[in-house]
Amino acid sequence: MDLHLSGAQPTDLERETIDAAFARAVPPPGTNGDRPMRSHHAGHDARARRHLLLPVLHAVSDAVGWISPGALDHIAVTLSVPPAEIYGVATFYAMFAVEPRAPRVVHVCDDVACGPNGGEEIAARLTDELGEEGAGQDVCWVRSPCLGLCERAPAVLHQRTGEPDLSQAPAGPDDVVAAARSDDPALADEADAAFADSRTSAPQTPGGRMPSGGPLRLMRRIGVVDPTSLDDYRAHGGYAALRRAVDLGPTRVITELEDSSLTGRGGAAFPTGVKWKGVAGAPERPHYLVCNADESEPGTFKDRVLMEGDPFALIEAMTIAGYVTGSEVGYLYLRGEYPLATRRLENAIAAARARGFLGADVMGEGFTFDIELRRGAGAYICGEETAMLESIEGFRGEPRNKPPFPSVKGLFGKPTAINNVETLYNVLGILEVGGQAFAEVGGGRSTGTKLFCVSGAVRTPGVYEVEFGTTLRELLDLAGGTRGSGEHADRLRTVLLGGAAGGFVMPENLDVALTLEGARDIGATLGSGVVLVFDTDADLTGTLRRIAAFFRDESCGQCVPCRVGTVRQEEALARLERDAPIGSRETEIALLDDLARVMRDASICGLGQTAPAAVTSALDLGLLDRPTTTSVNGSRNGKVPTP
């Protein structure tokens, strides 16, 4: 094959890094390291290793700071894939650079939680200290969408060539500048320690309880167990659920899941038992398991808290899923902006493998299962399940048409079970108490407990676990109510429920039951569990413009309704924010309504279909042109100026 190479040569460091990255990707014990190709006539055997492309690009970026033409050529030769295709993949992800840049990059979150709460001040300070966005020889800074640290806003992420990435949150301008310029090699360890000592992400733990008085389930070990110790995990009940699953057998485990009525916690709410049963019974082999840990929805951080605080539980839950569905290999697709979670999970996988909880003969029970960690690289669209499969396979993360669904034709064209992190953690609880006992909490399609990411204008932001059926008012009370003092105390304007792809809930609906059915009854959605609170000082037009900018930037561009619609939506909101409408305000609002209809009806995947959801909700509730201020108890408190 003529690869049409550029002729650029890799440096010694690039060559060594690429070769070492491929060499490290040895097949898990007892499994086939090469994966199926896109077609039987794909050509060269090396292409069966294309699924290693994302880890190799990460290795080059981590070591060198960018991906040069010489590095692209060397990867292309190694895989027998044209460099133009490698370039197309590398440029798809925001965390990779194909042009020289500063070896240190500070990503400043300016999204809905961080931007209005200190993110803009950090950006202004970095402009004064380091220059304009993207400039700088040694250090530069860039704006970033949500970093998944909303409960600690404002947040930044430091990418440091040749050193571990690190997160800072809550971040102050002085601290960010100091970290950006620091040469201390222990900085990442210190940042990890700061996170480990903080309880702000999970205010109910350790030893917390739910509003009903019941003990925590999903979060019971967070703040109690040492997340780096397999022995401590086992001392707190770890791997009892896997033992129980093996004793029951795959068929009985699926029955327990069906009895539990567990639905997916990533937003789609598909019955987990049905999904596992379909993959387990599929005649085509091999089967695959994928854990979707790419939570990138603005306002979402629950999965991060679970993975950082109780990582071995995810490894155990994935092993159960692999055993039940007949999968020998599981892929854990983790968003690239989670450095601490990455380190914790890498350690957990290695420890489990060393102790026989992963590999060719798990726990001596005669079944094979191992996990491959895949770091995302800054692409929200890869949270869509088929786009994630494309990314794992080494292609651009663009969604596939459905059907066929992944349970029939998924990863590498084989039957694949895809589950969200929170969903998998629930499986452990079901095996401990039984499916019927699990279903006694909540009801209908909303059984068990649910994690909610509460942030914004509340006194105690964080992840909260509550039973399905808890009201939104009770959840806000658990988070301390709306922050403020004096005449601004406890003054609530609205709540964004479900994230950027969700909708607004007004104070008169605070007594809605937080269930799939209750949210639907008021025209809302639980989505990924986001509860973003806005008080009377909130600039909702500016917030919606930020959301629109997020979807515009994250659209993969594959289909016209989303590619064009997200741009036009942001432009209209930007004009409204500047109070410079084309024609009149009513004309702009009508345009936004038309755009929403087209995107909902004609986009290929959920990103385009839900990109106008928050905007439409705000328009329906009159939040753009008739803002009011209301206390948590629902009483009116006058008006605030229109944004």
Q: Is 386 within 8 Å of 294 (Cβ atoms)?
A: no
Phi, psi dihedrals of residue 625, rounded to the nearest 5°: -125, -10
pLDDT of 487 strictly over 70: no
Give me the residue label for tokens 């100091």: 178
> Which uninterrupted H or E stretch holds 352?
helix 339-354
User: Quick check: 343 and 380 in contact, CB under 8 A?
Assistant: no
Q: Are 391 and 106 in contact (CB under 8 A)?
A: no
* Local structure of 288: helix, strand or coil: strand
Q: Is the pLDDT of residue 219 over 80?
A: yes
Q: pLDDT at position 634, please?
A: 32
Strand ranges inside 250-316, DSSP E? 287-293
375 — pLDDT class (breaks 50, 70, 90): very high
Whole-angstrom Cα distance, residue 534 to residue 538? 6
- Cα separation of 338 and 99, whole Å? 24
Task: Indicate the burial class of 162 (C-beta count within 10 angstroms; 0-12, 13-18, 19 or more).
Answer: exposed
- The pLDDT, as a whole number, for residue 268 is 83
Q: Please give the sequence-ordered ranges of beta strands (E in DSSP) within 522-604, or none if there are none.
A: 530-535
pLDDT at residue 638, rounded to an integer: 29
> 548: Cβ–Cβ under 8 A, 6 or more apart, which residues?
566, 569, 570, 573, 611, 615
Residue whose C-alpha is closest to residue 462's, from 304, 605, 248, 341: 304
For residue 643, whether the previous peptide bond is cis, meaning omega lies within 30 degrees of 0, is no
User: Taking 50 as the threshold, does the pLDDT of residue 40 lie above it?
Assistant: no
pLDDT tens, residue by residue, 385-444: 999 999 999 999 999 999 999 999 999 999 999 999 999 999 999 999 999 999 999 989
Joined together, the tokens standing for residue 371 give: 């996990």
Highest-confidence segment of 243-247, 546-550, 636-640: 243-247
- 610, two tokens: 């839900």
Confidence of residue 123 (pLDDT cuts 50, 70, 90): very high
Mean of per-residue pLDDT scores for the chain: 90
Three-state secondary-structure class, residue 424: helix
Burial status of residue 353 (CB atoms within 10 A of its CB: 0-12, 13-18, 19 or more): middle
**CA gap 5, 200 in Å, rounded:** 51
Strands (E), 48-164: 104-109, 139-144, 156-160
Q: What is the pLDDT of residues 161-213, one digit of tens each?
A: 999 999 999 999 999 999 999 888 777 777 777 776 656 688 887 767 788 78
> Domains plus CATH for the chain?
12-90 (no CATH), 104-182 (3.40.30.10), 230-440 (3.40.50.11540), 443-538 (3.10.20.600), 541-621 (1.20.1440.230)
Specify which of 179-193, 521-535, 619-633 reaches the highest per-range mean pLDDT.
521-535
- Straight-line distance from the first to the last Cα atom of the chain, in angstroms, rounded to the nearest whole number: 59
- The per-residue pLDDT for 624 is 78
Quickly state the pLDDT bin for 271 (edges 50, 70, 90): very high
Looking at 41-55, 275-289, 340-354, 559-573, which range is the least confident one?
A: 41-55
pLDDT at residue 33 above 60? no
Q: Give the pair of three-digit tokens for residue 325.
A: 């569905």
H or E segment and range at residue 390: helix 385-392
**Beta partners for 107?**
142, 157
Overall average pLDDT of the 236-264 stretch: 97
Mean pLDDT in residue range 367-392: 96
Verdict on whether the full-model pTM lies above 0.85: yes
Q: 74-97, pLDDT tens digit by residue?
A: 999 998 889 999 999 999 999 999
Query: Residue 126 is encoded by which pair of tokens?
Result: 């970095």
- Torsion angles phi and psi, residue 402, rounded to 5: -130, 140
Other beta carbons within 10 Å of 347: 16
List Cα–Cα distances, 110 to 157, 241, 291, in angstroms: 12, 41, 28
Cβ contact 71:14 at 8 Å: yes
Please return the burial class of 626, using the count of CB atoms within 10 Å of its CB with bins 0-12, 13-18 and 19+.
exposed
| b/e code 471-508 from CB counts within 10 Å (16+ = b) | bbbbbbebbebbbbeeeeebbbbbbbbbbbbbbbbbbe
